[in-house]
Amino acid sequence: MLIGIPGRDSQSAMNGFVSTYGVGNMPHLPDEQGDLWTRYGVSYQPRWLLIRTDGTEQAGGGEIPASVVTDALTPG
């Protein structure tokens, strides 16, 4: 499952980000205080982080590569 975590801003600004980048087709967990951002080292948007079921992580900036989306949606 892919989950967006817009953060460090108002709910209105986060909604605008989701709309601007066309990522409204996935659930979002607002992080207004930036706690999750801090935990995962996010310092700017757009950023993405894949946490696999085995606990390994892959992160990057900008558009999420198709290979990462495929990896995230592949069971196992």
| Segments making up each domain of the chain, as ranges | 11-73
Q: Which residues contact 25 (CB under 8 A, 6 or more apart)?
A: none
Tell me, what's the pLDDT at 22? 84
Does pLDDT of 75 surpass 70?
yes
Name the nearest CA neighbour of 3 among 21, 25, 34.
Answer: 25
Tell me, what's the pLDDT at 35? 93
Does pLDDT of 76 surpass 70?
no
Whole-number Å distance between alpha carbons of 57 and 32: 23
Mean per-residue pLDDT for 14-20? 88
Phi and psi torsions of 41, nearest 5°: 70, 25
pLDDT in tens, 21-65: 888 888 888 888 989 889 888 888 778 888 888 888 888 888 888
Contact 37, 14 (CB under 8 A): no
Contact 58, 36 (CB under 8 A): no
